[in-house]
Structure 1
């Protein structure tokens, strides 16, 4: 493992950015009487909504690394707070899916919107080739982080 160099400096900057983003998310959770896992759940649900994908409780729990009981408690808590609702699936009415409520979306946009706007503005300072490199790097980091805890197979 390298102990110095420009690559390691970039790793340290990425870690610092991740810490700051985590702190920002924790402030949102605290100000809104939420647990940090609640915020992560809402992010998963909003990402699924953007991708036009239905999210069952099982899928949400898997994305968050929660067991069935923990997922049920999470969804119950978010539902009581008015952040999500359980509805029947659009294609399979037997399936119950979790949808994020518009009030939760508005709450998130009010808090995270200014930061998102600043990041978009930063990205506009790069040309398309540079943005593609940034996207590729971040996708690679995400994939490496996701794979880091997976057991090695022989």
Structure 2
């Protein structure tokens, strides 16, 4: 069992606090814009897929968010009515329907999250390449641990 008092635990507790604060910040943004917290998570997932050059289907989005088919449909209907997304034919396979984020949703996200992103980038510019690599490794490892935690008893 790891030591629960060392400097590593201070970082674990800071990470937990950051996670809580990010969740609260996201919820405030959702509330301020008449959205559900899941709507914000969905838009983030869709924008991440777009940034990676990947097409996202409804099933893929539901899987990424842990939603069943009915929940995913309700989510997409809500986002589509609000003008945040649209269902379009896939570029690679025209038989597939993929979800596309509207530029207005991107701008809405930037208006709310932009200052936080800018401040985070500013902080990261104070680190050298070795420190950035350590941060990437740590955060990537934590992300993998969380993703795999569901099957752990």
Other-structure match for 2:114: 113
Deviations 1:101-133 (A, max 9, x none): 000000000110000000000000000110010
Other-structure match for 1:89: 90
Deviations 1:60-90 (A, max 9, x none): 0000000000000000000000000000000
**Alignment length, in residue pairs?**
152
Across the aligned residues of Structure 1 and Structure 2, the Cα RMSD in angstroms comes to 0.9
Matched, 1:141 2:128: no
- 1-structure distance, mates of 2:75, 2:10: 38
- 2-structure distance, mates of 1:66, 1:95: 20
Given the two structures, how large is their TM-score scaled by the length of structure 2?
Answer: 0.97
Matched, 1:12 2:13: yes
> What is the DSSP-based 3-state SS (H/G/I as helix, E as strand, rest coil) of the residue aligned with 2:72?
helix
Query: Which structure 1 residue ranges, 5 or more long, are not aligned?
Result: none
Deviation of 1:3 after TM superposition, in Å, equals 2.4
Query: Which structure 2 residue ranges, 5 or more long, are not aligned?
Result: none
- 2-structure distance, mates of 1:99, 1:125: 35
Where do 4+ consecutive residues of structure 1 move more than 3 Å?
none
